[in-house]
Amino acid sequence: MASSQDKSEYEKSSIVLKKALTLMVKNRIPPSPNHYSVWYTFADKSNFDLYRELSDVIARGFCTETKSRELYTKYIASASERSLETIKRDLEKMVCEMSSSITDASAGTVLFQSKINTSFDKLKKAEGGELTIEETMSVMHEMVKNSKEVAKSVEIFSRQLTKAQREITELKDQISLFQKDAATDALTDLLNRRSFDLDLASLGEYDMPFSVIMCDIDHFKRLNDTYGHQVGDIALKMVARIFIEQTRNSAMAYRYGGEEIVMLLPETPVSTARQMADYMRRRIEKLSIIIKETGTKVSSVTASFGVAATDGGEPPEDVVKRADLQLYEAKRLGRNRVMPMSM
């Protein structure tokens, strides 16, 4: 029969489970183990940093699937990722070592307990006057010796636990790095095309209204040809930083390809998306790059934008295509502008 404490824990877990699933459904998060671990931890309030960050995201609007994955990488990721075979082998080795240490420590504890019981039995005889002083002192010396041996075993076990904890931390850091590399673009720190495709599909699956901002750096090839690819990379990173600074209220920015950057804005009207695009356009045209070797100042970085939003039941890919057509129109009309011109 379950104790009252077990029943209380069960009821608490059930409440947390229901809350986590409700939040996942509300935010259109697929019920995968990784996502579930994020939202259960959030509902349980067992990780303050995760709870605070996800609370801020929810308060500002909609949590995307990519954001949930990022939170998993940042706060939950452990050394159990099956795709990381090297880390898996390291973990298995560590578990075997710890299992052996625990077995040794357990056996040592049982042996010590047996010796202590024997010593206590002998001391009882001393209380009855059945042992001489020399025999009593011998029993005491034996107890001290056994205690020192156990203390040494505990010290060794403690060091092994400390080592294992350090290795676990290192494994988690490696996994976090691998997962970040899998989801982001190495040059710009923007999310990559794979992340974009996943999030776009998620928006379509749950029929979530959204806006799209597509951006292309003007005359990027000319910039590379004139000043070198290093300057082109700097310009791309600077533009990417402007986008990243605007990733709030569930907006997510991605490197779409080459010098193209795209932003998804769930539950955002096209007029708001256009205002954001124009704000970023104005910030980009103020950028300047100083080439250290020559002291040359490059201040001709501009970008063109296309904006579109869902228009009732159309496939999400069609929205992206319309934003791309608006971007093409912006370039045709002279670049450094946002299309459509007004909403």
**Within a 10 A sphere around the Cβ of 5, how many other Cβ atoms?**
8
Annotation says 329 is catalytic: no
Q: What is the DSSP letter of 313?
A: S
Torsion sign across C-alpha atoms 239, 241, 245, 248: positive
- Going 173 to 174 to 176 to 181, the CA torsion angle's sign is positive
Residue with tokens 């201040």: 299
- Single out the catalytic residue among 130, 134, 259, 314: 259
The size of the chain, in residues, is 343
Q: Count how many Cα atoms sit within 13 Å of the Cα of residue 160 in the half-sphere of its side chain.
A: 18
Q: Whole-angstrom Cα distance, residue 302 to residue 330?
A: 12
Burial (CB < 10 A; 0-12, 13-18, 19+), residue 165, is exposed
Q: Which two tokens stand for residue 283?
A: 């910030």
Active site residues: 259
